[in-house]
Amino acid sequence: MAPSCKSTTTIAACGILLLCVSFLAELVHGGQVPALYVLGDSQADVGNNNNLELSPLRANFPHNGIDYPNQQATGRFSNGKNFVDYLGAPPPYHSISDSAAERESTFLKGVNFASVTKNRMDVQGLCFSFDHQIELDYLNMYSELVRKLGQAQAMAHLSKSIFAVAIGGNDIILRSLPPGAPTVTVELPAVELQLQVLTPQQFVELMVQTLERQLQRLYELGMRRLFLVGAGPIGCLPVMREVNLLTKECHAAANDMSVQYNTAVASLLAGMSSRHGNFRYSFFDSYTALMQLIDDPRPNGYAEVKAACCGLGENKAMYRCGRVSSVCPDRTDHIFWDLVHPTEVTSRKLTGVAFGGSKPLVSPRNGGLVPALYVLGDSQADVGNNYLVTPTRANFPHSGVDYPEHLATGRFSNGYNFVDFLGRN
């Protein structure tokens, strides 16, 4: 069953979210933003890991992609699309041909470098680490752009482009899972095992130090507009709930690490912005946004928040989604697709919040990335222009009964209208 906005209580919200993400995609495709470059982990991977034939960390087989066009298993860890698809869906770097003309054209429009990884892990042959994505794949693309365009023009192109980064969640998962957990299918290098002795706070500090170095390197290589996805509520992933064998409740320590990480990353980005006057960013607090869905599922269209839709074992959380896994019949009422990844409908909702929301979910605002919003139209978009000698006004009760201070603002609504959710800040 393909994801849909089926609940009458969520139709309006779905429409707003779709409008927000469509707006950003139009900016990219329309040339106002020349390109979208994506780096990070499996939540952003659209098929790079398909090229690692000996790696178990792939998703190019059923039941992944069951709701993707033609039911194609593309390498996305999803029943359909992931959040990157709602931003502009640049192709995976490792699928681009060796044709010079195709590479040049593709590099100018955008590339996805993301892979199943963590910001501190480099397991040769299993994934493309974040450092690998930056220092090998992205640097190779950057060098080709410089050779073709010249240094100044290449930097000008990159400075207008958007960089989307999603990294950190896998670090927290592997730090929080008990040794020998059956869901860990990767043998960690000795240096990574040594990091397990660090306290959670020390581990998060090391993660953020590493990320700061990596983001600074991307800045040196042209990144000026960054959309960064924070860590979600890692402790509430199906794989982490299994740690609490009796209650299946969220793993509190993992969630604490997510909050610490997001707080530190927000501070890191603010520091980069103060040091570099031409650097703009948008930080999405996916922890809070996803917890709102988990804590209040039914008004948001969900019936299941604990179990995965695809997997094996209790709550389908004992082994990752694969050919022999069982699959839930309705993917639209599950928050999670597999052990750790959201369903397509969840990805779409979260992406809509990221680009249509406001503080504290998005900071400093839903972007400094889109400089302005201009609204024209009819009464569904009016926020108070109709102060005319006319009966078609709404600046009196009961309009605004749920607006702050019960103020009748001129909106034809009990509170906000859709425009408020596009750019309240």
Enumerate the active-site residues.
42, 338, 341
Q: Which residue's structure tokens are 């009966």?
A: 391
Question: How far is the CA of 351 from the CAs of 131, 164, 355, in angstroms?
Answer: 25, 12, 6
- Check: CB of residue 254 under 8 Å from CB of residue 324: no
**Distances, alpha carbon 110 to alpha carbons 52, 68, 73, 285, in Å:** 22, 21, 22, 24
Tokens of 413: 């609504």
Which DSSP string do the residues of 320-357 spell out, in sequence order?
---TT-EE-S-GGGEEESSSS-B-HHHHHHHHHHHHH-
Instruction: Give the span between the Cα atoms of 412 and 384, in whole angstroms.
Output: 9
Q: What is the Cα–Cα distance from 334 to 337, expressed in whole angstroms? A: 7
Which of the 8 DSSP states describes residue 136?
I
Number of H helices, E strands in the chain: 13, 10
Give the DSSP letter string of 264-283. HHHHHHHHHHHH-TT-EEEE
Residue 376 burial by Cβ neighbours in a 10 Å radius (0-12, 13-18, 19+)? exposed
Amino acid at residue number 331: R
What is the separation of C-alpha 128 from the centre of its chain, rounded to a whole number of angstroms? 18
Tally of residues, the chain: 425
Q: Which amino acid is at 125?
A: G
Q: Where are the alpha helices (DSSP H) in 98-199?
A: 100-109, 130-132, 139-149, 151-160, 169-176, 190-194
Alpha-carbon distance 316 to 288, whole Å? 24
First-to-last alpha carbon distance for the chain, in angstroms, is 36
